[in-house]
Amino acid sequence: MRLRNIPGAKDAIESSPYVIHEPAQNKGRWNEIFKNNHPIHIEVGMGKGRFLMDLASQNPDINYIGFEMYDSVLLRALQKMEERAENGNTLPNVFFVRMDARELPLIFDAEEVDKIYLNFSDPWPKERHAKRRLTSRQFLERYDAILKSDGVIEFKTDNRPLFDFSLEEVNESKWHLVEWTYDLHHNEKMNVGNIMTEYEEKFSSEGNPICKLIAAR
Ligand code: SAM
């Protein structure tokens, strides 16, 4: 997702209280940002952030950080946070970072993150771009560097080639599959408590089955 350039987006992000601007300075002490010791869950490539905000409002005892690399997309998430605040629904357990997820090991210590969500990640269909896919072995190594030893990755997509690639990458790395399905919305067990992302709503309404995997080490 890359929205066209929005004038003023950079300034709005720079002055937003919901954005952490120097994330590397918090390495090893993210809990100070949240002022508690609750677990930290992150979403990589969160887009407009609705999934993360819905999760956060259901789980006030979990801290959430959403990562998005484009200003124009992050701006939409900030606008939603502002709307929530205007309606008295603030989310003190949510912050955002504008960053390429390749830098995750620079901003978190080992074992600092409890869970990683990847939703409808860009497929990068050309083979030469495989390492840019957020479920590539290169990214799995980055997640390994920051995730608690009992932490998990949850990945959803409607893109079958990307999902099959992800199953292979998990199997060929130090990770293993805990659960997976090619049709989440018809899988009674895995669909319990499922929160739909913006892309999930769009693609499932077009009739595409949603794949999901959970991976651990
Ligand atoms: N997760 C949302 C959803 O399911 O509705 C958005 C899905 S959208 C297809 C993927 C998002 O991931 C885009 O907004 C893109 O900018 C972001 N993204 C892709 N690669 C990224 C990276 N390396 N670091 C941070 N964000 C990334």
- Looking at the predicted structure, is the pLDDT value of residue 72 above 70? yes
Task: Report, as an integer, the average pLDDT of 135-144.
Answer: 98
Does the beta carbon of 93 lie inside 6 Å of ligand 1? no
Binding residues for substrate: 126, 158, 197-200
- Looking at the predicted structure, is the pLDDT value of residue 26 above 70? yes
Q: Catalytic pick from 122, 144, 150, 164?
A: 122
Does the beta carbon of 100 lie inside 6 Å of ligand 1? yes
pLDDT digits (tens, 9 = 90+) for 150-185: 999 999 999 999 999 999 999 999 999 999 999 999
- Looking at the predicted structure, is the pLDDT value of residue 55 above 60? yes
pLDDT digits (tens, 9 = 90+) for 111-131: 999 999 999 999 999 999 999
Output the pLDDT for position 8: 78
Does the beta carbon of 120 lie inside 6 Å of ligand 1? yes
Q: Lowest mean pLDDT: which of 5-9, 39-43, 87-91, 166-170?
A: 5-9
Distance (Å) from CA 98 to ligand 1 centroid: 11
Q: Does domain 9-216 have CATH number 3.40.50.150?
A: yes
Yes or no: say if 45 and 54 are a contact pair by the CB < 8 Å rule.
Answer: no
- Looking at the predicted structure, is the pLDDT value of residue 10 above 90? no
Output the pLDDT for position 2: 56
Task: Report, as an integer, the average pLDDT of 26-30.
Answer: 97
**What's the predicted TM-score (pTM) here?**
0.96
Say which amino acid occupies 170.
V
| Lookup result for tokens 């010791």 | 37
CA 107 to chain centre: 15
DSSP string, 108-153: S-TT-EEEEEEES-----SGGGGGGSTTSHHHHHHHHHHEEEEEEE
CA 93 to chain centre: 15
In sequence order, what are the beta bridge partners of 199?
none
Closest-lying ligand 1 atom to the alpha carbon of residue 118: 1
Output the pLDDT for position 4: 62
Output the pLDDT for position 129: 98
Closest-lying ligand 1 atom to the alpha carbon of residue 101: 24
CB atoms within 10 A of CB 16: 20
- The number of C-alpha atoms within 13 Å of 42 and in the hemisphere containing its C-beta is 23
Yes or no: say if 47 and 68 are a contact pair by the CB < 8 Å rule.
Answer: yes
| Complex ipTM value | 0.99
Domain residue extents for the chain: 9-216
Does the beta carbon of 65 lie inside 6 Å of ligand 1? no
Output the pLDDT for position 211: 98
